[in-house]
A = this chain, B = another copy of it.
Amino acid sequence: MEHIVSSYDDELKFILRRISEMGGQAERMVEQAVSALIRSDWGLAQSVVADDILLDTLQREVDERAVMTIGKRQPMAQDLREIVGAIRISSDLERIGDLGKNIAKRVIAVNDHKQPVQLVRGIEHMSELALEQLKNVLDVYATRDAVRALEIRAHDAEIDALYTSLFRELLTYMMEDPRNITACTHLLFSAKNIERIGDHATNIAETVYYIKTGTQMEAERPKSDSTPSIAAPMPGANG
């Protein structure tokens, strides 16, 4: 594959295989990071941190191959969008892995602190939704389904709503007993990381839409992308 003169299709296939590997790897990292957080599994957390280098390597490979393919094949229209889309999607997947790694590092940091069980459950639930979005968007990418891409973006609002309510709960919990502050702050950042994972799944949905239709979804998402402007005493989701 490296040495023979291959067609555009072969090169695209090579890139898509790498992205599919990246998708699987990113899913696994997020799953394991949240599982490590919930079970305070320090060893699992460390292995997630170590795995991140794999995604970095794959992304670099996709980038290099994509640039080479554009230069060599001069693809047009959807063919060109496929390659540009691959660059974008691999960058989102790399970032999802990074967010998984951040959660894993937090497990290591928070090791000594008691976790408030019902809040950890809230994070688990959020991560289930985010992982479902990720799984679905990888399917949508595999099938280039622009209609389902729109649906996935709409679903992101659920994760945001969950984040907002978890944010409030965490703040309340911190106010009730200052000894909870350190652990809750870590959970707050973990929740934020998961909310960002949802955003990257949305980005991927937008890219699939672009590949398929040649047009962008409108720039403004139906959701605020991170920090809603709630001036109430207890503000909600936060960037």
- The reply to whether B178 and A53 form a contact with Cβ atoms under 8 Å apart is no
* CB contact under 8 A between A182 and B109, given known A70-B71, A71-B80: no
Q: Which of B63, B99, B112 contacts A233 (CB 8 A)?
A: B112
Of A5-13, A20-28, A118-126, A222-230, the one with at least 4 CB within 8 A of chain B? A222-230
How far, in whole Å, are A185 and B233 apart by their CA atoms in the complex? Answer: 13
A192: which B residues are within 8 A, CB to CB?
Answer: 189
* CB contact under 8 A between A181 and B175, given known A71-B80, A106-B227: yes
A178: which B residues are within 8 A, CB to CB?
Answer: 174-176, 178
- The reply to whether A231 and B109 form a contact with Cβ atoms under 8 Å apart is yes
- The reply to whether B71 and A231 form a contact with Cβ atoms under 8 Å apart is no
CB distance from A146 to the nearest CB of B (A): 19
CB distance from A228 to the nearest CB of B (A): 7
How far, in whole Å, are A230 and B56 apart by their CA atoms in the complex? Answer: 24
- The reply to whether B174 and A235 form a contact with Cβ atoms under 8 Å apart is no
How far, in whole Å, are A110 and B231 apart by their CA atoms in the complex? Answer: 6
Does chain B have a CB within 8 A of A105? yes
How far, in whole Å, are A106 and B185 apart by their CA atoms in the complex? Answer: 17
A179: which B residues are within 8 A, CB to CB?
Answer: 175
* CB contact under 8 A between A228 and B109, given known A102-B239, A189-B239, A193-B239: yes
Which 3 A/B pairs are nearest by Cβ-Cβ distance?
A: A102-B239, A105-B227, A109-B235
